[in-house]
Structure 1
Amino acid sequence: MFEDLVQSLKEAKAITKGEIQPSRRFTVEAPDVRTLREKTGLSQAEFAGLMRVSIKTLQNWEQHRRKPTGPAAALLHVVAKAPDVVIQSLHIRQ
């Protein structure tokens, strides 16, 4: 198993240096944030709290000045699929 880990690290280094291409790449596009927030019935302050971002960041997303990326985009997909579960799990009350 150690040899597999060493090989993985060597591959990661080569990918970082641009010497080889990654075997797969994942991109997560965020849904329309304003529409999603309005669907949940949460205010901007409440939704920003749910997402653990500032209200200004949320406003930038809603006005398409910025796009949520990484974990925020993934969490928005979960909110889109199961808003009640996310709100309940993160202890946000509607």
Structure 2
Amino acid sequence: MSKADWDRLKAMTEEEINAAALSDPDCPPLTEEQLSRFKRVNAIKDIRGRLGMTQAAFSAAFRLPLSTVRDWEQGRTVPDAPARTLLTAIARDPETMRRLVGGEAA
């Protein structure tokens, strides 16, 4: 966006921003039915997949209990805030995180 676009946006109220978003022909609001068909992405499975690691290898590399990794991926439990922070750090720099936690080499 240009500076003029940002300035125009900053001058708008929340109501004006919402009205503009709703009237955008390139991005109409989704219906409840459309939203219900969305599939939530499993962050840990996505991270592990991008690293090309098995659950066991991921668990060993980042010193996480294998059962915890499995529970997160299968939706039995949800990572708490510290675990989500760790997963974010792993996604951003997996090799550094592996070294920091003292896990096994992948």
TM-score tier (shorter): 0.5 to 0.7
Equivalent in the alignment of 1:42: 53
Q: Which runs of 5+ in 2 are unaligned?
A: 1-41
Cα separation, 2, equivalents of 1:86 and 1:59: 20
TM-score (normalised: structure 2): 0.51
Q: CA RMSD in A?
A: 1.9
The sequence identity of aligned pairs, in percent, is 28
Note if contact 2:62-2:97 (Cα within 8 Å) is conserved in structure 1.
no
TM-score (normalised: structure 1): 0.56
Bigger Cα displacement from structure 2, 32-41 vs 51-60:
51-60
Find the partner of 1:70 among 81, 88, 104.
81
Tell me how many residue pairs correspond in the alignment: 64
Q: Which runs of 5+ in 1 are unaligned?
A: 1-30
Q: In the TM superposition, what are the counterparts of 1:1-94 in structure 2 within 5 Å?
A: 32-89=43-100, 90-94=102-106
